[in-house]
Structure 1
Amino acid sequence: MAISVFDLFKIGIGPSSSHTVGPMRAAALFATALRERGLLAQVTRVEVRLYGSLSATGVGHGTDRATLVGLMGEWPDRVDPKQIAPRIEALKEARELLLDGSHPVAFDWQRDLLLDENLPYHPNAMTLIVEGAAGELHRDTYYSVGGGFVVDEAQAKAGQLDQDATELPYDFSSAEELLVLCQRHNLRISE
């Protein structure tokens, strides 16, 4: 797995990348998947279930707000942090979520945002569910595994924590291996 400095040092809202950046990314990925599958127009209800640490401390860390803003189609590195509070207040007042920034769905904060126990794979878990007139349309469970990284349930079950298959010209796993590569190729670390 290749992790760049840009992966490690993400731009996003705080105070915790596991509680805000990861959940916002997961929710935005979910909203994008709904759009790509042609399901947005059919959605009549959205349910958010926060588990484990996201449930126990997430509200204090902003997980609830980050997730809902992600469902609105916002991404952690592109959202204007000053717009989050007014958008959440508007959602609570109107009791309507603008899913993927385009599809209005009734949203009752008390009914549709649930705090729950742990899931087996990781303590930072969330399940997003959408329903239509005929029942459930789509659901996915995501795990915020730290540093703003997320994996969905299929990746977790497959043991696939990273989808990046980039072949690196100078692959290394330790500082010692990095120094050996630098000597072998007559390169500085920055190169």
Structure 2
Amino acid sequence: MKEERISVFDIFKIGIGPSSSHTLGPWRAAQRFLDLVKSSTDLSNVQQVHVHLYGSLAKTGRGHGTDIAVILGLSGYDPVTIETASIDDILANIATTESTMLHGEMQIRFAPKEHVVFHKTESLPFHPNGLRFVAECGAQGVFEETYFSIGGGFVIQEGEESNAVAPIHLPYPIDYAGDLLKWHQSSGKAIWEIVLENETAWKDEKSIRSGLMNIWRVMQESIFLGCQTSGELPGGLHVRRRAAALNQKLLKEQTCIDCTDWMDRVRNGGAGFNYTLDWVSCFALAVNEQNASFSRVVTAPTNGAAGVIPAVIQFYITFCGGTEDDIFKFLLTAGEIGSIFKKGATISAAMGGCQAEIGVSSAMAAAGLAQVSGGTVEQCLMAAEIAMEHHLGLTCDPVGGLVQIPCIERNTMGAIKAITASQLALQSNPENAKVSLDNVVKTMWQTALDMNNRYKETSEGGLAVNIPISLSEC
């Protein structure tokens, strides 16, 4: 394993749905390519830009918004700050005028149907999510570069090592769960404390805390907005949103002034297992319905799995009395578990199927929940292991290439499994466990390598070929 130092803010990224690997990653690749061109020539020399999509990006790119992402990236917009309500108008203007403002600075001819090419029968050898940019610059020649979106919004340039940034020396370097356990045994620190010390290699504690609270703010906003928004999701499958209707049913049609008022009504509106279970499902549905409609969510660790962690945190603060400090500890713990999976396996569905998305997010959430529920380090790692063990082999087979069926419901399953895994671990003695987290990470990667490519975000197998729809609609 190559040394790779990953911050919690690399695992949790604010962006736009519906996919971290097919939307956020290509968006960032477009921005990187423009930076490369700008470092070599003036943008006024650029006459036109072509984008070539390969592998999974080509096969499911339209449903995942890959073309939209690269167009917006080339046009100077950023996924963190763009007004999501303006996206349709921006795209309509580009399509009508067949031009765009490159980097927001220089107008060039750009016809999306001509300049974004889907190579559905070709795949690049390094990774299924490959894209190539070609900028024609007249007398300055042609600038060309290939990038790979490797999952979770992470992007690497062809020939570049994934850890090509300057090396960061952490007080507690971690590649395996065993490393985390070793540092705990030598220091006596909890997982979140170890991770916090490592994070100070990048920024001070005040910035870490405010950054994570901002991550939670966006997560909770996606829950709240998703619970208030009804209608049909875009893309041609005619999927009806369910979170808003469920929200109204559970609240007995009460109207909420704001998020705080909403949370109070949820907390005081009922009791019992079924009531709580319905809300966990509602929280997860809300986030991923927002994700499917090109709204702002947090990659956790991917967009397709963006609803699991917010749903579990919202469950804890609503029904278990969780505090802001608990959210801080939860995210630090969960972020490190995500890093371990990225290093030892993958968080890319195009490489490992949905076990790499929902499975990893469920493991992250289980560890975070065990942490704030008073679990030991060993119990937190056990919770993560249990959650992933029961997602092994989960395929990625999005119907119509859209992050809707079965993706949205799978977030509810991942959240519930995370809560169950945490409870099992908290009621168990980890010394008696037969399977370690490192065992399950290794097994997940072996399973990913063995999995047929039809089940790796290509829409060529599973539910994607057994649901009677017309793919041309999507």
TM-score by length of 1: 0.91
The Cα offsets for residues 156-186 of structure 1, whole Å up to 9 and x where unpaired, read as xxxx112231111101222232122122123
**Aligned counterparts of 2:69 and 2:136: Cα–Cα separation in 1:** 21
**Aligned counterparts of 1:166 and 1:108: Cα–Cα separation in 2:** 42
**Aligned counterparts of 2:71 and 2:132: Cα–Cα separation in 1:** 13
Q: How many angstroms does 1:79 deviate by?
A: 2.3
The Cα offsets for residues 85-119 of structure 1, whole Å up to 9 and x where unpaired, read as 21111111111121111011101222211111211
**Structure 2 residue aligned with 1:124:** 129
**Structure 2 residue aligned with 1:30:** 33
Quick one: which of 2, 14, 17 aligns to 2:20? 17
**Aligned counterparts of 1:74 and 1:106: Cα–Cα separation in 2:** 17
Task: Give the alignment of 1:1-191 within 5 angstroms.
Answer: 1-116=4-119, 117-134=122-139, 136-155=141-160, 160-164=161-165, 165-191=167-193
The Cα offsets for residues 144-164 of structure 1, whole Å up to 9 and x where unpaired, read as 010000111121xxxx11223
Contact between 1:18 and 1:144, CA under 8 Å: does it hold in 2? yes
Decide which moves more: 146-155 or 135-144.
135-144
SS in structure 1 of the partner of residue 23 of structure 2: helix
Q: Which sections of structure 1, spanning at least 5 residues, go unmatched?
A: none
Q: How many angstroms does 1:121 deviate by?
A: 1.3
Amino acid at match of 2:148: Y
Contact between 1:39 and 1:137, CA under 8 Å: does it hold in 2? no
Identity of aligned residues (%): 40
The Cα offsets for residues 16-51 of structure 1, whole Å up to 9 and x where unpaired, read as 101000000000111122223233110011111111
More contact order relative to length (CA 8 Å, sep ≥ 6)? 1
Judging by fraction of residues, say which structure has more strand: 1
Amino acid at match of 1:13: I
- What is the number of residues matched between the two proteins? 187
**Aligned counterparts of 1:78 and 1:180: Cα–Cα separation in 2:** 40
Q: How many angstroms does 1:135 deviate by?
A: 7.1
Decide which moves more: 128-137 or 65-74.
128-137
Larger Rg: 2
Judging by fraction of residues, say which structure has more helix: 2
**Aligned counterparts of 1:154 and 1:122: Cα–Cα separation in 2:** 12
Amino acid at match of 2:83: D
**Aligned counterparts of 1:128 and 1:82: Cα–Cα separation in 2:** 27
**Aligned counterparts of 1:34 and 1:177: Cα–Cα separation in 2:** 41
Q: How many angstroms does 1:9 deviate by?
A: 1.7
**Aligned counterparts of 1:93 and 1:80: Cα–Cα separation in 2:** 20
SS in structure 2 of the partner of residue 190 of structure 1: helix
4+ runs of 1 displaced by more than 6 Å? Answer: none
Contact between 2:34 and 2:74, CA under 8 Å: does it hold in 1? yes
The alignment yields a C-alpha RMSD, in angstroms, of: 1.5
Q: Which sections of structure 2, spanning at least 5 residues, go unmatched?
A: 194-474
Amino acid at match of 1:184: S
Contact between 2:41 and 2:140, CA under 8 Å: does it hold in 1? no
